Each structure stands twice: as structure tokens, then as C-alpha cells.
Structure 1
Amino acid sequence: MRFRNVLSSLRRLSFSQMASRVEVSRLMHPDDANLGGNVHGGTILQLIEQAGWISATRHCNTLRNAQSTSPVTTGLARLEHVDFLRPMHIGNVALVHASVSYASAHSLMVSVHVESEDVMRARKETTNRATLWYVAFPLEATREGVWKAAPVPPVPELSDEEERHGREMYLMQKQDRETPPHRDMDFDASEMTRMNAKQYSVSYSVSSLSHGVSPSDCVSSDGPAQGGVLMKLMDTVAGMVAFRHARTSVVTASIDAINFYKPTFRGEVVTVSGRLIFTSERSMIIQVAVISENLVTGGKKMTTNAYFTFVSLDRETRRPVPVPQLVLETEDERRRHAAAEARYKAAKARRGKSAA
């Protein structure tokens, strides 16, 4: 409903607001498929973040004020909870629409709407709605390694309702981002862990991958890795966990809010690890953590963490099917399972109220 309100207000946007609007389209090729044959959820996340970055950076530089005379770049600070409403298929065209909908003193809220277009049948369907938060940095300062937030121009001509909603969202995400990452996110996801694991246990499906951050992963040689690159890696690992547990086709259903605590730079190595923490009858919640390592100094840092929900699909009908229940072996596993179950039930109750 809120996104429809944003879309309905486009008719009265000023030129300065229109400048932040972005429309990205891309044909989905076979190399965009996940292990189950659908379009990789991480590919959609990467497109969402690319459109969001363009929108946020355009806004800052189009409306640059006297406080910020140098060009400005932006970095992803947070992706709000996002649902994958429908799968996107190979051969469809992804249509991504983004625009800045609110700005605080140093951050921007970007609203993104994703459609899947079947050009053969002339049909479009909404697949995702997302909200992203970006922080602005002077481009010259980032080249010197100084990551001090730059002032952000306000969004002109917002209604009182849009201003109030944006402020509420800003305060909520700010409070959540100030909560430190979970201490139990550094876990063993090696193949050795899986060698003698009991079937359907947590250790049975743990997965990880390491990735060296290259120039192609960054907007510029001086900037950090794009948030979309990291989110695609996270979705890849979460999908490996879900696939190993269910042994059938799996798709991303939703992602809890993702906070980016520290930037990752070219030349660093990110290790993305995932483990299953909860199963319902037809869905799985996977905990994913990203650790960045500076190969020169040996220093490591927690970059981000998130919870991905996957569903298992029948290979022929593509309809949801039951998943094997998770075997819990330790008190920590039971604690994480109970916490995830509480979140799962709360989310299910919210969806029920929204549908009503």
C-alpha cells in the first residue's frame, strides 16, 4: 500500500525529485539461474542495489548544496526486510524502478519496485518491493580513506504523511543498526564439519565460500565493494544450505533486514558462511554471516549478517513441498531454533493481518 502511494505521487514530482528516478531493465539469461533453474535471488538483489545506488547518488549530486561542494558517492547501509512475491524466470525481463523517497541529514531512503515482464505474452508481474538506506560520502575523502558522512539534500515537496512515514522508518532503522551483530555468527562451515555430520542436522548442510574483492566488484577503484555483490554471495550460500538440506529445488522467499556494519574494499577477501537454524513444514531459515579479511594486515571484521528464508519446490509442479525437519543436537542450536520460530510466527501473523 505504501509503495502504491509513492507511485501515485510521481505525477506531482518536481524536476529535482524526478532526477533521482531510475529505471533499469535486463533480460534474464541462463547464467542468471540458480541450482533449481529459476533466476538467482542474488541476481535480483544485485539489480535492486545497483538501481538504489544510482538513485541515491544522483539525488546527492543533482541537489548538491553549499555544504558539499565536491562530488558525492553513496554506500549501502541497510536493506529492509524484503519478500520475493513471485519467482522470475529465464527469458523474462527484469524491470527495476527506484527513487529517493526520504532523506535525513546524512542518509537516504530509496524505494524500489521490481517487475518481471514476459515479453512473449505481454504480461508484467510484481516480484519484489524493497527499501534501501544509503549514506553519502565526499568522493575526494574516500580516496584518502576518510569515511565521514556528507550532508544529504532534502527531498523537496514531500507531503506531511510522506515526511512522517520517512521519519518513522529512519528512526527504526537507526535503532536497529546500532544493535551490535550477533556474537555467535563466527561458526565453522567447512567441508570437514560436514564429513561425519548426522543427516538433517545443522552440520549436515553448513556451507561457505570465499571471494576476493576485485575492481569489478566496486563502483570505483577507491570505493568499497557494492552491497549488491555481497548480497548475491550471501544468497548463493543460503541457497547452498537450503539445497543441501532439502535436496530439491529451492527459492528465496524473504530476507530479514540486512545491516552493513563496515565497508569491504578491493583486495580484501570475504568469507560468507551459512547454517540452517529453523525449519517449518515448508520453509527454512538460514543464518548467513560475512567476514572480511585484509590480506596485508591479517585483520578481520564482521561486515554483515542476515537471515534468509527459503522454500522447497517440487521439480515438476513448482509448488511448495514439505522439507525435512531440522535435527537439533546442542543447546545453542535449540536456542537459535526457538528464537527463529518466534520470528517466523510473528511474521506469519503480520502477513495474516495484512491480508485481512
Structure 2
Amino acid sequence: MPRSSIALQFRAEAYDHPDGSVDAGTVMTWIDKTAYAAAASWSGADVVASYVGNMHFSHPVPVETRVIVQARVVHTGRTSVHVQTRVVLPESKDADGRSLVSTECVMVYVAVDAGGTPVPVRRWEPSTEEDREHERMAMARQSIRREMEEALVEAPFLGEMTAETVVLRFIASTREVYPGEKVQGGVVMRWIDEAADVCASRWSGLPVVAVFAGGVRFYQPVRVGDLVELEAQLVHTSARSMHVSVRARAGDRREREPRLIAHGLSVMVSTGPDGRAVPVRQWRAATEQDRVLERRALELVGLRNKAAHEWAGRTQA
């Protein structure tokens, strides 16, 4: 029987994360695994990630502790399933004794047939007032998502910029795949986080962590064996943060022009011994292209704030 909600448990080992906290990329893969399960169960078909909403990492995820990722369907389109997710830390409590929520976001999946063609999905009907409120928020976020996608599409190519830039290239090799040897969306999100990490670390000269990942848009799938190229570029600095735009491309290794597969924006900070963000070296836009992309990045941050409270309330342990 189709399910509209699901929760999965995860745990990260200390030897994989020597600094004591789980990196944002790993958390993103957990979110995708759980949301994928909810979307696939509801649709009764294979699904592929289409869009990832804003993620603000309000609490670090410690290693060697139980983590629960919750996912539930909050809206369906003709071929799409919108899934609200949250990452809960049941062993960490706030002042009122409630489990901390590390982050939350909406994942949008599209149901596809064996050939990758979108197929209709069964409509999800809200049954409670809470369900209806979640669906209203999901529908409202669609317009915000379109604004974010326009901001990304209209931005210049990163190669035209003059700021700190990092390019990573590798062959896609992973067991985390959808049917048809297509790499899972969570893996692509982890790659984007890793590229942003390298770029921000080079600029600051210090270790960094992600505090925000925004509006990841998936354009085409990546298949195992594809040559992947990640281009990360610093586009804005505030007093204590670095905004990094990342474009992911991939294709057959024999092709000279890889296709755009995804784009996202990450906000990174360097932290001191007390865990607080420290001041970072400032970057100033030097060309018109620099200024355009910086403006787009700030627009995305503004849209993030517009949709900041996507899912009110907290989860009880």
C-alpha cells in the first residue's frame, strides 16, 4: 500500500568524520534517501530528483549518535511529488526538552517510466488542517522556486568571473544509484557541497562548514561512468560568511562539451574553537560579470529568507 510518510535512521562513524561533526554533504544524502523512499512509495513508480529547497543547518550533526530523517508528501503535481523533510537529533534536546532539528527542506521528485519519460502520479489529498497548511505552503513555494531558478539561469557562466574558482573533475563511480545506473540526487548534492568546501577553504585559508545550501536544481541525470566536472566560484562575502556558486556538468568522457546537470548555492563559514563563525577575508566584485553573479547570489539569499519558515513547529522525541 502506498505510504505518504516515512522515517529512516542514520548514524555516522567517527573515523569517517574526524572533526566530530557530520558534513553537510552526507546529511544531504540521508535526506535524499528518505525523501526518495516517500516519493517512490506514493507514486508507485521510479522517481528522480528535480529540485531541492533551502537548507539552513541550524545545529551540527554529531558523529556516533542516532539521527532520524522524516519525510512526508505535502503536495503532488501532474507528474511531481513534493516531499517535506526534516533531520531530527533525538539525543540532543533544547531548553524545553524537545529534540533538536538540524535542518529541513522540501525535495521535489518527478515520476518516470523505464525510458525516463515523466508519468502521471496519483493525487495526494490532505486529510487534516495541518496537511492542508503544508500543501498551501508547498504551492506557495513553487512560485519562489521559479524565481530562484530564473536567478540561476540568468547568471553568467562561471568561467567569465575573476573570483576564487575551483574545478574538480572525476569519473562518477558510486553504488548509490537510481534504476538505470543514474546517480542519486543526494550524491550530486554531496559533490556540490565538497566543491563549495574546497573553494571556500582556499579563500579563507581555514577549515569551513556549510550553514546553508540553496535551491539545487537538477537538469539532467548523471550515469555511472560519466566524466563529472564541478565548477565552484566565490560570488559574495559577508563579514563572516562566503557564498559559493557551484555548477555541475557531466557527460560521456569522449565528449568535449559536458551538459549542465545541476546548480546550487552554498554559504560556508569558518569557525573558531568556540564553534562561532570567525571573520573572513573580504572579496570585492571587479568586473560587471562579477557584479551580476553576486547580485544573483544575494537574490537567492533573499528568497531563502522569504521561505525561511517552511515547516513550523518541532518534532517531539
TM-score (norm 1): 0.76
* Paired AA for residue 202 in structure 1: A
User: Does residue 1:187 correspond to 2:171, yes or no?
Assistant: no
C-alpha distance in 2, partners of 1:345/1:259? 17
Aligned residue in 2 for 1:196: none
| Cα deviation code 1:59-88 (max 9, x no counterpart) | 112xxxxxxxxxx20000000111111111
Q: Is the 8 A contact 2:237 2:283 kept in 1?
A: yes
1:313-351 deviation line (CA, Å, top 9, x unaligned): 10x111121111114433322333344345546756886
Q: Which residue of 2 aligns with 1:124?
A: 99
Alpha-carbon separation, structure 2, partners of 1:166 and 1:344:
19
**Distance in 1 between residues matched to 2:155 and 2:308, nearest whole Å:** 30
Amino acid aligned to 1:28? A
- Aligned partner of 1:313 in structure 2 is 271
Structure 2 CA distance, aligned partners of 1:303 and 1:311?
Answer: 26
Give the counterpart of 2:47 among 45, 54, 74.
74
**Structure 1 residues 137 and 250, CA gap change in structure 2 (3 angstroms):** same
Partner residue, 1:23: 7
Change (3 A) 1:161 1:130: closer
| Paired residues for 1:242-321 under 5 Å | 242-314=200-272, 316-321=273-278
Q: For the Cα contact (< 8 Å) 1:33–1:39, is it kept in 2?
A: yes
Among 279, 291, 296, the alignment partner of 1:322 is 279
Distance 1:177 1:81 in 2: 13
Instruction: Give secondary structure in 2 for the equivalent of 1:257.
Output: strand
Identity %: 21
The answer for the alignment partner of 2:36 in structure 1 is 53
2:166–2:199 Cα contact (<8 Å) kept: yes
Looking at secondary structure, tell me which structure has more helix per residue.
1
1:247-283 per-residue CA deviation (whole Å, 9 max, x = no partner) reads 2232111122111111112221111111111011111
Shift of 1:106: 0.5
Distance 1:56 1:81 in 2: 19
Amino acid at match of 1:46: T
Question: In 2, are the aligned partners of 1:22 and 1:55 still within 8 Å (CA)?
Answer: yes
Q: Which residue of 1 aligns with 2:315?
A: none
Bigger CA radius of gyration: 1
> For 2:155 and 2:292, how far apart are their aligned partners in 1?
14
Contact 2:22 2:61 in 1 (8 A): yes
TM-score, with length taken from structure 2: 0.84
| Aligned match for 2:27, one of 44, 69, 80 | 44
Q: CA deviation at 1:185?
A: 3.0
Name the SS for the 1:236 alignment partner. helix
CA contact (8 A) 1:95 1:115 kept: yes
Secondary structure of residue in 1 paired with 2:22: coil
CA contact (8 A) 2:152 2:296 kept: no
Alignment match of 1:202 (pick from 138, 158, 163): 163
Once the 2 structures are TM-superposed, how far is the Cα of residue 108 of structure 1 from its aligned partner?
A: 0.4
User: Is 1:136 the counterpart of 2:105 in the alignment?
Assistant: no
| Aligned equivalent of 1:155, options 119, 124, 128 | 124
Unmatched 5+ residue regions in structure 2? Answer: 313-317
Shift of 1:24: 1.4
How many pairs align? Answer: 306
Distance 2:9 2:72 in 1: 15
**Contact 1:137–1:148 under 8 Å retained in 2:** yes
1:106 paired residue number: 79
- How far residue 100 of structure 1 moved from its aligned partner, in angstroms, is 1.3
Q: 1:345 to 1:322 in 2, by over 3 A?
A: farther
CA offsets 1:294-325 (integer angstroms, 9 cap, x no match) = 124545211111111112210x1111211111
